Amino acid sequence: MDSQLLEINLISAQRLKPPPGLRRVQSYAVAWVDPSAKLRTRVDRVGGENPTWNEKFIFHVPAGFLADDSPSAVSVEIYAAGGWYLPDSLVGTVRLLIGNERLLRRPRDAPAFAAVGIRRPSGRIHGVLNVGAAILSRVSLRAAEALAWSPAVGYRDLMGDERARIPRIPSRVRTALKDANRDATTSGRGTKEASEEEEAAAEERGGSDGGVVFCGPCFMPFPRRIHLSPSDQNLQIPYPEENPTIR
């Protein structure tokens, strides 16, 4: 077959490090195969440094993308929402090598689970992203219609579900994630805690793209490293003028 349907489930993350200047993390994740078609999760406002999203995305990918020896990857960026006054800040990035998951050796619709280290802007690995991946044998009519207009689509966008609720992770998925985390730790794919002094020094050496943000009416500047969130045009999915209704 010329193309396949790849499902990526951004399940949760653990031990995120808040960006400088933020005491608490309210995070979301952005995933893409093609940078022109980026998809994002909702913002987790209650999980803090251990957010849960459990959101699934479907990507049209060429057959060679899934090969065991393929260097192709799904890119993920995790952001901390800045609220009304501050830009969103980059927490870390993940590059999920699809070939490592051996999806072509698994039955269709049977997900593989992995725990992947999150690379901070300083270059250090800190935290873990729990993710699932599967090759789909079929999709719903609504998803097929959306994929005819875009190479990627999210389930939440299809359902129009914007409710701020905590998604429930099935017990079998939690078990698989525990195994993936244990395997990642023993194989060296896990993360090690870096000291606050080392992190601060690494952030300071990371470059000059930081800026100064003024703290509202007091106008007292404090240094803060700023990373702009992805452009909105890459996060929008082009749909036909009249969206099909759910049957």
What rounded mean pLDDT belongs to the chain?
77
Mapped onto helix, strand or coil, the DSSP state of residue 37 is coil
Would you state the pLDDT for residue 72?
93
Give the residue-averaged pLDDT of 180-201.
52
More confident residue, 220 or 24: 24
Give the residue-averaged pLDDT of 203-230.
39
Would you state the pLDDT for residue 58?
97
Question: Is the pLDDT reported for residue 244 higher than 90?
Answer: no
CA triple 147-152-156, angle to 5 deg: 90
Note whether residue 29 is domain-resident: yes
More confident residue, 192 or 43: 43
Query: Which sign does the torsion angle of CA 121, 126, 130, 136 carry?
Result: positive
- β-bridge partners, 233: none
Would you state the pLDDT for residue 54?
96
* Two structure tokens written together for 98: 């699809």
CA triple 112-238-57, angle to 5 deg: 10
What is d(CA 60, CA 172) in angstroms, rounded to the nearest whole number?
Answer: 27
CATH code for the domain of 86: 2.60.40.150
Note whether residue 7 is domain-resident: yes
Note whether residue 57 is domain-resident: yes
Question: Is the pLDDT reported for residue 47 higher than 70?
Answer: yes
Residue 199 banded pLDDT, cuts 50, 70, 90: low
**CB-based contact 210:224 (threshold 8 Å):** yes
Q: Which residues contact 92 (CB under 8 A, 6 or more apart)?
A: 16, 17, 77, 78, 118, 119, 120, 121, 126, 127
Query: Pairing mode, if any, of strands 3-14 and 125-135?
Result: antiparallel
**CB-based contact 103:134 (threshold 8 Å):** yes
Note whether residue 240 is domain-resident: no
Tell me the per-residue pLDDT of 11-39, one tens digit each, with 9 for 90 and over.
999 999 988 877 788 999 999 999 999 99
Tell me the per-residue pLDDT of 120-168, one tens digit each, with 9 for 90 and over.
999 999 999 999 999 999 999 999 999 999 999 999 888 874 443 444 5
Would you state the pLDDT for residue 59?
97
At 159, the amino acid letter reads: M
Question: Is the pLDDT reported for residue 225 higher than 70?
Answer: no
**CB-based contact 139:5 (threshold 8 Å):** yes
Note whether residue 247 is domain-resident: no
Question: Is the pLDDT reported for residue 93 higher than 60?
Answer: yes
Give the percent of the chain with pLDDT over 90. 53
Query: Pairing mode, if any, of strands 73-80 and 27-32?
Result: antiparallel
Would you state the pLDDT for residue 211?
35
Dihedrals φ, ψ of 3, to 5°? -140, 160
What is d(CA 87, CA 215) in angstroms, rounded to the nearest whole number?
Answer: 13
Q: Which residue has the tokens 């209650």?
A: 46
Would you state the pLDDT for residue 185?
56
User: What are the angstrom distances between the C-alpha of 195 and each of 91, 126, 198, 201?
Assistant: 17, 11, 5, 10
Tell me the per-residue pLDDT of 80-92, one tens digit each, with 9 for 90 and over.
998 788 889 999 9
Distance of CA 42 to the CA centre of its chain: 10
Give me the domain span that covers residue 129: 3-235
Distance of CA 141 to the CA centre of its chain: 26
Q: Is 128 exposed, middle or buried (0-12, 13-18, 19+ CB in 10 A)?
A: buried
Note whether residue 211 is domain-resident: yes
Residue 96 banded pLDDT, cuts 50, 70, 90: very high
Note whether residue 179 is domain-resident: yes
Question: Is the pLDDT reported for residue 184 higher than 80?
Answer: no
Note whether residue 156 is domain-resident: yes
pTM over the 0.95 mark? no
Number of domains composing the chain: 1
